[in-house]
Amino acid sequence: MPAPAERMKMMRERRLGQGLREVRLTVPNPRLESIRKRIASQVVRLGRSHEDEALSWMEAGSEFDSGDSTGR
């Protein structure tokens, strides 16, 4: 059996051959109390205009999911 590093290399090559690319994300850990407090304080400061802007942005992005350029 190949070494772990070689297996990872083989897996990446297989995925690249399938047209896939590995992406790694680093995000805040919501299990930490300090992160939950920071998020809560940011939510409190949100105004209606920010919410409307975010909803408009999400709606515009959802048009790409329909497969129809008209957004229907």
**Domain contains 47:** yes
Q: How many domains does the chain have?
A: 1
**Domain contains 72:** no
* Average pLDDT over the chain, rounded to an integer: 86
Reference 40, options 28, 55, 57, 54; nearest CA is 28
Q: Give CA–CA dist 44/39, Å, rounded.
A: 9
* Residue ranges making up the domain that contains 39: 4-66
Give every CB contact of residue 1 below 8 A, 6+ residues apart in sequence. Answer: 7
**Domain contains 39:** yes
Per-residue confidence at 35, pLDDT binned at 50, 70, 90? Answer: very high
pLDDT tens digit sequence for 10-21: 999 999 999 998
Distance of CA 54 to the CA centre of its chain: 15
**Domain contains 71:** no
